[in-house]
Amino acid sequence: ELLLYFQPQVGLRSGRILGFEALLRWQHPERGLLLPDQFIPIAEECGLIHALGGWAIDAACAATLVEGLVNPH
């Protein structure tokens, strides 16, 4: 199962949150939580990297709406 974690981007001078970085992880049923360097090369070799990237973008955009991560003001 693919997971996204959101890491805040903080302004050094203001200390305010400016945005978020989406971090992709894979919760493997047998190997546990895998970092991108453990699964991105495999996705590239198998031709799945574009589908994986598309999923990550869709999931990040959906999460910003659901979680209210975007401040429209």
The reported pTM is: 0.77
Cβ atoms 6, 23 nearer than 8 A: yes
Task: Give backbone dihedrals phi and psi of 23, rounded to 5 degrees, phi first.
Answer: -110, 120
Computed over every residue of the chain, the mean pLDDT equals: 90
Q: What is the mean pLDDT of residues 28-46?
A: 96
Strand pairing partners for 32? 28
Give DSSP secondary structure letters for 42-71.
HHHHTT-HHHHHHHHHHHHHHHHHHHT---
Give the pair of three-digit tokens for residue 72: 């429209």
Share of the chain above pLDDT 90, in %: 77
